[in-house]
Amino acid sequence: MTRFTGTWMLTRFALRRDRILLPVWILVFSLMTVFSASATIALYPDVATRVMAASAVNDVPVAVALYGRIWDPTSLGALTLLKMSAMGGVMIAILAIMLVTRHARAEEEKGRTELLGATVVGAWAGLTAAVIVALVAMVGIAVLSALGLWAVGLPAAG
């Protein structure tokens, strides 16, 4: 028996347990990105308004510290993702922390880890399964967000 024995069984169990919650969160985060991009496209339809908005962000040091500099002020993609980059990253990190905590620490608090430990499950299987579930969620959000951004008209190469 290795330290990872039973990881796939626990991963399947965690995914089954979150069969409603996980797809909802993935869809919510992806739709937030798509709706934000769609609103930005409507708000800045031409290059002149994009350059003006990028200058407004780049001229404020606090905005640059929070969101980063817009290097190409004519880029619709750079302006679109400006809003979701910092806050979206924080929200996705919180989701990952919540998922790992739910499937690792919460199981330990409820006594399920000790119950599983009495079977053929490795010492690192629970934490590894929780991290795999979080990775599945993050990849799902990334793929659906990329497809949604492409669907609203942003270039895939940019």
Q: Tokens 């590894």, residue?
A: 128
Amino acid (one-letter) located at 19: R
pLDDT of 29: 94
Q: Tokens 């003006």, residue?
A: 52
pLDDT of 81: 84
The pLDDT-based confidence of 34 (bands split at 50, 70, 90) is very high
Q: Give the residue from 49, 88, 48 showing the smallest Cα distance to 68.
A: 88
Inter-CA distances, 40 with 5, 68, 109, 137, Å = 48, 17, 44, 26
pLDDT in tens, 65-90: 888 899 999 888 888 888 788 788 88
pTM equals 0.84
pLDDT of 132: 95
Q: Give the residue from 152, 133, 119, 111 showing the smallest Cα distance to 18.
A: 133
- Kindly report the number of other CB atoms within 10 A of residue 152's CB atom: 17
pLDDT in tens, 95-123: 999 999 888 877 766 666 666 655 677 77
- Pull the structure tokens for residue 119: 């079977």
Work out the angle between the directed axes of helices 76-100 and 125-151 (0-180°, nearest 10): 160
Q: Taking the CA atoms of 65, 70, 76 and 78 in sequence, report the sign of the dihedral they define.
A: negative
**Dihedral over alpha carbons 39, 40, 41, 46 (to 10 degrees):** 140
Domain boundaries of the chain, sorted by first residue: 7-44+76-151
